[in-house]
Amino acid sequence: MKERITTCIIIVAIGVVFPIGCFFDEKGTTSKTETTSPGIYIEIPSMQRTFTEGYPKKLVARTYANESYFNHVDLVWTSDLDGEIGVGKVITTDILSIGKHVITLAAYDENNHAVTSQIEVKKVERPGMPEFKKEAEKPMIYVDRVSHTTFIDNRDGTVLDKGTGLMWLITDDGYDRAFVEAYNYCLDLELAGFKDWRLPTLNELEGIANIGYLNLEPIICEVFETKNNGSYWTQTESDFKISSMPNTRHFAFVKFSWMDHRKAFVGETVPVGNEFTPRYARCVRVAQ
């Protein structure tokens, strides 16, 4: 009887000790429990973007899981050129040096396990607007062939719409940007002695293209320089939502295409464009 009791005690002891031993390595230290971390990705900026100096303003992280996951991890951003550039779900940085960068976002959980996401971006020197010698040439007057509105080329990179009192950039700087970068570009712009530039509303941009004007072809006045098949942002937000992109905003934009038979650019309104697709910026300000 005593032998039977002893055997049972040994069996129970083995059953208790063995699973506990699974949590120790050969040295008797506690091993880290393997966990499956949610997928993480860099939402802003998008892959293989080219930025001028001063941009991007923000870098934003997302996960494929519940957003509460961010409360339990450390998010570290690094550049292969500049080292660590920030910590957190959203960082604001202007420290990226000129050149090509591989930006890595690493999410470390409480057990120091990490999942990562990478993008490639390029930082270039900010191109200046064309130099204009106002004293060398007098302003030129253009009359819109559709609306008969008078536009004045100020010879300093700006165009004044006498009908609306709006002052426009005669051209863009040649770089397409996601919405946030385009919006910030206009806010940061200083040109012709003015600092109050902004992205236009949809009605304003449609106005210089004569979209919806007396049902005539929407031709933009030849005083403006534009891109063939170039799309230009407006700050008019759309209520349209895509179920697969629940956290994505959409904005209206205007696309310009060259019509050879008109010898002019014709505008087309696109009511919905997601905020991450690069487009050009034609900044505007109220002059009068």
Supply the pLDDT for residue 246. Answer: 67
Q: How far apart are the first and last CA of the chain?
A: 107
* Residue 119 shares a structural domain with residue 147: no
Supply the pLDDT for residue 93. Answer: 64
* Residue 194 shares a structural domain with residue 78: no
Indicate the number of domains in the chain.
2
Supply the pLDDT for residue 5. Answer: 46
* Residue 168 shares a structural domain with residue 281: yes
Supply the pLDDT for residue 162. Answer: 93
Domain span including residue 169: 140-286
* Residue 115 shares a structural domain with residue 151: no
* Residue 117 shares a structural domain with residue 144: no
The overall average pLDDT reported for the chain is 77
223 contacts 270 by C-beta, under 8 angstroms? no
Supply the pLDDT for residue 17. Answer: 41
Return the sign of the alpha-carbon dihedral for residues 134, 232, 229, 121.
positive
Token digits of residue 131? 């130099």
Question: Across the beta sheet with 250-259, what order do the strands follow?
Answer: 230-238, 250-259, 264-270
Supply the pLDDT for residue 133. Answer: 52
Tell me which residue has tokens 């697709």: 277
Residue 27 per-residue DSSP state? T
Q: Is residue 176 part of a domain?
A: yes
Instruction: Name every residue whose Cβ is closer than 8 Å to that of residue 19 and which is 6 or more positions away in sequence.
Output: none
The domain that holds 95 is classified in CATH as 2.60.40.10
Peptide bond between residue 130 and the one before it cis (omega within 30 degrees of 0): no
Q: Mean pLDDT of successive 10-residue segments in the chain (288 residues)? A: 48 42 38 50 71 70 67 82 87 79 86 83 66 62 90 92 94 86 88 92 93 80 87 89 72 90 87 88 91
Kindly report, residue by residue over 113-137, the tens digit of the pLDDT. Answer: 788 888 888 887 765 554 545 555 6
User: What are the residues facing 213 on neighbouring strands?
Assistant: none
Supply the pLDDT for residue 10. Answer: 44
- Domain boundary (100, 124, 148) is at 124
Among 265, 206, 195, CA closest to 234: 206
Pairing of strands 49-52, 114-124: parallel
Supply the pLDDT for residue 153. Answer: 93
